[in-house]
Amino acid sequence: MSFAWDPDRYLAFADERARPFLDLVGRVAAVDPRVVVDLGCGPGTLTSLLADRWPGAAITGVDSSAAMIRAAADGAAADGAAERVVFRRADLRDWLAAAPAGGVDVLVSNATLQWLPEHLDLLPALVRAVAPGGWLAFQVPGNHDEPSHTIRAALAAEAPYAAHTAGVARPGAHDAATYLRALQGLGCAVDAWETTYLHVLHGPDPVFAWVSGTGARPTLQALPADLRPRFEQEFKARLRAAYPDEGQGVVLPFRRIFVVARTRV
């Protein structure tokens, strides 16, 4: 079941969403790459940082969402970065199928692979796309057992919602060791780790605001207009109970899995 992204809602927590990207790219030791690709670039705000990091590289951002690509292109034009960064719409799997072997020096994917249930099987293709001695770096959320996800899943399985939410996209990921071993088996030198961020969120129902822009979005869009407000009201109430505000904001623990792999020369 397909769903649509909302760039504005996604960017409501832009600073918090940028931290893992910066931590990921900070471990990529490429000196002067020629071709850098950001798979799942979203609204492009982080892709532009790759152009700042490697000003001599040709930077391409790829995303399957037309809305995200429009936002990315508009943002690059407004910032004067349109000549340094190109954005194109494509499904990650289609891009991989068409990518020439060894054509990318740095391949980055930030919080995208978790939407592809078969992404572990895509690792060989991702590695093939990277030049010898090049870099593959990705980050995926590892918080799918947290209340922010389990509450949504439990509520969506209840009547009358279950009839509409069966089969919706759900993010999922493996642990760091699984990625490390898989990429070692492909001949890469691998650095894999995990970090749990403690995001302090403010405002009314901030955890709902966070998940409604990402993991809960497919569920919310699957519900008909007459049921969605009722679902949202109950979802918010359960999230408030799980993530109380004790007067200094709501603390949202967010575990993320990071992998930086260098291909064999």
What DSSP letter does each residue of 173-222 carry, written as one string?
A: ---HHHHHHHHHTTT-EEEEEEEEEEEEE-SSSHHHHHHHTTTTHHHHHH
| pLDDT for 166 | 92
Domain assignment present for 1: no
| pLDDT for 12 | 53
Domain assignment present for 109: yes
Domain assignment present for 2: no
188 Cβ partners below 8 Å, 6+ apart?
Answer: 127, 136, 261, 262, 263, 264
Q: How many independent structural domains does the chain possess? A: 1
Domain assignment present for 171: yes
Judge whether 102 and 126 are in contact, CB under 8 Å.
no
Q: Which two tokens stand for residue 20?
A: 């893992």
Q: What does the alpha-carbon distance between residue 29 and residue 134 come to, in Å, rounded to a whole number?
A: 10
Domain assignment present for 51: yes
Q: Which two tokens stand for residue 149?
A: 């996800």
Domain assignment present for 222: yes
67-102 as b/e, with b when 16 or more CB fall inside 10 Å? bbbebbbebbeeeebeebbebebbebeebbeebeeb
Domain span holding position 75: 7-262
Q: Which two tokens stand for residue 79?
A: 């910032």
Domain assignment present for 86: yes
Q: What does the alpha-carbon distance between residue 224 and residue 263 come to, in Å, rounded to a whole number?
A: 47
- 92: domain CATH number? 3.40.50.150
Which residue from 215, 205, 200 is spatially nearest to 252, judged by alpha carbons? 200
Q: What does the alpha-carbon distance between residue 210 and residue 217 come to, in Å, rounded to a whole number?
A: 10
| pLDDT for 214 | 83
Domain assignment present for 186: yes
Render each residue's pLDDT in the chain as its tens digit; 265 residues.
444 545 555 455 678 888 999 999 999 999 999 999 999 999 998 998 899 899 999 999 999 999 989 999 888 877 766 678 999 999 999 999 999 999 999 999 999 999 999 999 999 999 999 999 999 999 999 999 999 999 999 999 999 999 999 989 889 999 999 999 999 999 999 999 999 999 999 999 999 999 998 889 999 999 999 999 999 999 999 999 999 999 999 999 999 999 999 999 9
